[in-house]
Amino acid sequence: MALIKTVKGVAPKFGKNCFLADNATITGDVVIGDDCSIWFNAVVRGDVHSIRIGNKVNIQDGAIIHCTYKKAPVTIGNNVSIAHNAIVHGCTVHDNVLIGMGSILMDHVVVESNSIIAAGAVVSKNTVVESGSVYAGVPARKIKSIDVALIEGEINRIANSYNMYASWYDEKEVTG
């Protein structure tokens, strides 16, 4: 069973049909929507500020979601995939976004809808990722615009796949 901790009297809240891997950690002021999955060794740590996660979000193995004390909460929209070992810190991610493996999003970043952050990218503090863009590199910069095929072939495919993968597990934590 996932490690779920109350911090200063505030416990995480979960929507319907959420999969929480056995060694995922979710603490404090965290609200997670419906049809989400928090995978192995992922940490969602709402101890120093709030974390709000929409519906159909997957936070993959080893990813870390955290905030800056009293300054930078995390807000994640709907249909978002946060890939393995990504760090999402004190920022806002809108709907239909893919955050690539090992990427880092710093405080006050805003990732607009229908965007991709490439694997290994470092998105510097206060960057606004334009809707319909792919950002890559260190520091991350726009490398191209997204077409409909990329939205369907990557963003939606991965989000849908993780819902399917979660359904394969016999002991699914259904909360809400």
Question: Taking the domains of the chain in order of start, what are their residue ranges?
Answer: 3-167
Maximum separation of any 2 CA atoms in the chain, in Å: 45
CATH class of the domain defined by 3-167: mainly beta
Question: How far is Cα 155 from Cα 126, in angstroms, rounded to an integer?
Answer: 23
In which residue are the tokens 């520091």 written? Answer: 139
pLDDT tens sequence for the chain (176 residues):
899 999 999 999 999 999 999 999 999 999 999 999 999 999 999 999 999 999 999 999 999 999 999 999 999 999 999 999 999 999 999 999 999 999 999 999 999 999 999 999 999 999 999 999 999 999 999 999 998 888 888 899 999 999 999 999 875 554 55
